[in-house]
Amino acid sequence: MAKKNITRPATAETALLSDIRVGRGRDKRRLSDEEWNALVRMLAIKTDPESFDVRSLAPEGSYLARLLRHFDETDISYAIPLMKLVMVAASWLTQRGATLEVPGLGDIVPTHWIIGLAESGEAKTLASDEVMRILSLDGECPVSQLAAPGSDAQWIDDLAENNGSYWFQDEVGKFFNKVLTSANFLRIKPWMLDAYSHKPISNRLKGETQKRVIERPMFTFFGLTVSSTWKMDIDLSSMLDGFCQRMTYFIAPPRTDTDMFDHYLYFTGPKTEERRADLHELWQALCCQEGAAGSYTLNPDVLPYLEEWWRSLRATWGDTSLPKSFIRRTGFSLMRYLPVLHFLLGKARHPIDLETAELATRFAEYHLQSTLALFQDYHQNGTGQVQKVFTLRNQLQAEGKPATVRNINRKLSTGQRANLPAALIREIVAILNKIEEVPDLISADMKRPQKSGALVARLEEIRARLKKTERKRNERRLRNLRKAYLQDRDCFENAMAESRDGPVEDREEDVVLIEEDARNVVELSTRRSGT
């Protein structure tokens, strides 16, 4: 069967690797897909900083980047406001009936379930509240919310009244511990497992003749907790349970450009309110964009690109200690990211394109890195970091010894050796040896370390140039959205009026009451609210 040609997004890696030729003389050719993916992994390993830069998830000039700039004069990790914005946007879309249409799969609802971990003192709750304050500046909360439950019976009653809502759970580790151990919360676990796939859930209180059924339960879930106490609340066996596997995780890396002693108070000064008002106005413009609450579709080249990305995870994640069930669910969560990021980029009226798809893969890989780090915290001995290989490779070369896979393995601990894909290192070294030239960058007589160093240097040059273009493109898009919104401010008021009637599944006709003899069944309404 002929192999499909994959259209790749216009990233710095794409621009760099497109120029590379392998082979000698007349046998020179472009990189194969396998060689391309191997070099992408090498560049990621050699250029990624020790601490993940969350700002790489916020394209230059976009609304996401502008929101993060509001937190520049604090020591708060950028991850918390970024993920809070994503979750509120996901809930806003869910409550207005927005879906992603994928042929064969049907409609995918953007009901993210995400848990964030950060150390104590990282101002997690304050950062979350600040984002909600910005998005609610006119006094109207942008989404319907579920209250933190006091029991499982209260939880299902609240969900029946507010199906489709946004659930924010602080100290989520302690709450999950109650769900797994306390008699008052035990039924939440099976109900949430069914709600993950939108399967019906039901409950009947003692003495009642009718049973309340939620035919298609849905909600977005955002939990925050302290990293150092997570293991105390959730042991490894609970982490491997199907309940915790439904969540997507992120670890909020601490800021490296500042610390708490640089900032006595947050969000002070005469320009603070001006920034809040500006960000709120842009949020309103995003909500009013054409197609915001409609059905999102994929450009023809997006699904092949995502399939190729998924296959590339075999080499980078297939041999790690991260359970495959977490990899699978994180991979699928990318589909829920697509409409949310497309909305936040201000492109709702267009089909989802490669730019949005590539950004979604960055979010997914951030979740994979975070989840692996979370598991490694349970197993302190198994680091499994491929980056270690390149440090040892440089050490061997400095010692005048050949940097072979065998010599590198000799320097690894038992735990590192167990998780390290030696085949990947061998593949990368072999490709570097085959590269003959890159115009104005690499010559045929260069040594392997010189070639890899030149590739990384060129990559940074291209990345800087593309960021400048990206910023101009996103700033222009936001200007156009703001202009359209200012010409018709009523569009946002109409959208908020719709939300006050309740979210998409929160209507009286959507709550099913089943008599004891199960003969009186009322079908759910299938109507959806529009823009």
* Token code pair at residue 500: 């006050």
Higher-pLDDT residue of 531, 433:
433
* Structural domains in the chain plus CATH codes: 49-379 (3.40.50.300)
Q: Which helix (H) or strand (E) holds 419?
A: helix 414-419
pLDDT at 441: 46
Grade residue 320 by pLDDT with cuts at 50, 70 and 90: confident
Nearest to 6 by CA among 37, 27, 45: 37
Nearest to 510 by CA among 218, 206, 106: 218
| Lowest-confidence segment of 17-31, 46-60, 279-293 by average pLDDT | 17-31
| pLDDT > 90 in the chain, percent | 49
Is 58 a residue whose pLDDT tops 50?
yes
SS3 145: strand
pLDDT at 346: 96
| Lowest-confidence segment of 84-98, 367-381, 492-506 by average pLDDT | 492-506
What is the tens place of the pLDDT at every residue in 337-351?
A: 999 999 999 999 999
Grade residue 410 by pLDDT with cuts at 50, 70 and 90: confident
Output the CA–CA distances (angstroms, integers) from residue 76 to 69, 79, 203, in the order listed.
11, 8, 41
pLDDT at 357: 96
Check: CB of residue 212 under 8 Å from CB of residue 511: yes
Grade residue 468 by pLDDT with cuts at 50, 70 and 90: confident
What is the tens place of the pLDDT at every residue in 194-204?
A: 999 999 999 87
Nearest to 282 by CA among 486, 95, 72: 486
Please report how the helices 490-500 and 272-288 are oriented relative to each other, as an axis angle in degrees rounded to 10. 80
Check: CB of residue 139 under 8 Å from CB of residue 500: no
CA–CA separation, 520 vs 526, rounded Å? 19
Q: For residue 2, what are the contacts with CB-CB under 8 A and spacing of at least 6?
A: none
Mean pLDDT of 174-182: 93
Q: Which helix (H) or strand (E) holds 214?
A: strand 210-214
Grade residue 437 by pLDDT with cuts at 50, 70 and 90: very low
Q: For residue 35, what are the contacts with CB-CB under 8 A and spacing of at least 6?
A: 22, 431, 434
Q: In what order do the strands lie in the sheet with 511-515?
A: 201-203, 210-214, 511-515
CA–CA separation, 31 vs 428, rounded Å? 12
Q: In what order do the strands lie in the sheet with 106-108?
A: 106-108, 99-102, 295-296
